[in-house]
Amino acid sequence: PSISIQVNSHTDSRGKDDFNMRLSENRASATVDYIVKAGISADRISGKGFGETRLINRCTNGVPCSEAEHQENRRSEFIVSINHKE
């Protein structure tokens, strides 16, 4: 089987939407670069930034939230896919 990794990076809702999108794209790119430098083939990993479009809690723009709640939304997810070839 072959394994591929998709890095999905996210931000909290603070800041402007376009800034957060760029920030998450940069975070995904930096993560991919780090993993490639560690020895994983670049054709097996990709990254995508989602900005604040996929919040995992109620902390949207204008909603008062604790720092811990905002931290939940600042994350990178690693989606590992195993492709079984016959």
Residue 60 belongs to domain with CATH number: 3.30.1330.60
pLDDT tens-digit map of 16-40: 999 999 999 999 999 999 999 999 9
Residue 85 has what pLDDT? 78
**Mind listing the pLDDT tens digit for each residue in 50-86?**
999 999 999 999 999 999 999 999 999 999 999 987 5
Residue 78 domain boundaries = 2-83
Query: In which band, very low, low, confident or very high, does the pLDDT at 1 lie, cut at 50, 70 and 90?
Result: confident
pLDDT number for residue 66: 97
Do residues 76 and 8 lie in contact, with contact meaning Cβ atoms separated by under 8 Å? yes
Number of domains the chain is built from: 1
Judge whether residue 45 has pLDDT over 80.
Answer: yes
